[in-house]
Homo-oligomer: A and B are copies of this chain.
Amino acid sequence: MRTTGDTRQRIVSAATELFRRQGYSATGMKQIVATAGAPYGSAYHFFPGGKAQLGEEVVRTSGAAYLELIGELFVPGRDLVDATGEAFLGAAGTLRELDFADPCPIATVALEVASTHEGLRLATAEVFDSWTAALAAYYAASGLPEGVARETAVSVIALLEGAFMLGRAARDTGPVEAAAKAARWIVRGAVLSGSAEGGAGRSA
């Protein structure tokens, strides 16, 4: 028998998948509950704040899942250039497996709401911050000075998001594969810049 927890979870999962493919604005509560196989009223039962509340939950839940993934991909001790390049190659595979839906579940929402839904904008900003902080901590642990580590993490995540955008538009993983090389160059540049400042002595 399906429990209440199941239904709530199915609604969040359905919304996550729909946002990846068609964004926030084009997705209505009706389509979400239909995709989830849930009764219409259940959406407002679980999310009395409506689509905005559900959207915020999707952003935060997906954000936490991707934060775990960053922890799995960027293991202290791994070479920071290789780890970065390989994460991009893995992302190219994910883009293909998803049939060019967005591997990042918050990107489309982030652009749609940035100037129009303050609560949702803050949720996306906090998620991006959590990812860049985790990646920056790994780069710093790998020997980059903290400021350089932070800027490098921001740039690497920005590059991945933009590569997903170009790859989705072209229905081609080429942009993400090109970005894998560029990401390596960014991190190598950061290592050299850190060395020049005398701060990357512990570089892997």
Question: Number of contacting residues on A, CB 8 A?
Answer: 56
A182 touches B151 (CB 8 A): yes
Question: Which residues from B are CB-within-8-Å of A107?
Answer: 111, 165
Checking B26, B154, B178 against A151 with a beta-carbon cut-off of 8 angstroms, the contacting residue is B178
Question: Which residues from B are CB-within-8-Å of A189?
Answer: 181-182, 184-186, 188-189
Considering the chains assembled together, what is the distance between the CA atoms of A111 and B155 in angstroms? 20
A112 touches B114 (CB 8 A): no
Answer yes or no: A110 CB below 8 A from chain B CBs: yes
Contact bitstring A9-20, B, C-beta under 8 A = 1, else 0? 000000000000
Considering the chains assembled together, what is the distance between the CA atoms of A171 and B116 in angstroms? 12
Considering the chains assembled together, what is the distance between the CA atoms of A163 and B111 in angstroms? 11
* A115-B22 CB under 8 A given contacts A128-B169, A170-B129: yes
A1 to chain B, nearest CB (A): 34
B25 touches A182 (CB 8 A): no
Answer yes or no: A175 CB below 8 A from chain B CBs: yes
Question: Which residues from B are CB-within-8-Å of A175?
Answer: 154-155, 158
Q: Which secondary structure dominates chain A's binding surface?
A: helix
Considering the chains assembled together, what is the distance between the CA atoms of A160 and B179 in angstroms? 12
Question: Which residues from B are CB-within-8-Å of A121?
Answer: 169, 171
Checking B23, B101, B159 against A23 with a beta-carbon cut-off of 8 angstroms, the contacting residue is B23
Q: Please, which residue of chain B has its CB at the minimum distance from the CB of A179?
A: B155
Question: Which residues from B are CB-within-8-Å of A182?
Answer: 151-152, 155-156, 158-159, 186, 189
Q: List 26 A-B contacts (CB under 8 A).
A: A22-B115, A24-B25, A26-B112, A100-B115, A101-B115, A108-B108, A110-B165, A112-B112, A114-B168, A121-B171, A125-B169, A129-B170, A155-B175, A155-B178, A155-B181, A156-B182, A158-B159, A158-B179, A160-B162, A161-B161, A162-B162, A162-B163, A185-B190, A185-B193, A186-B189, A188-B189
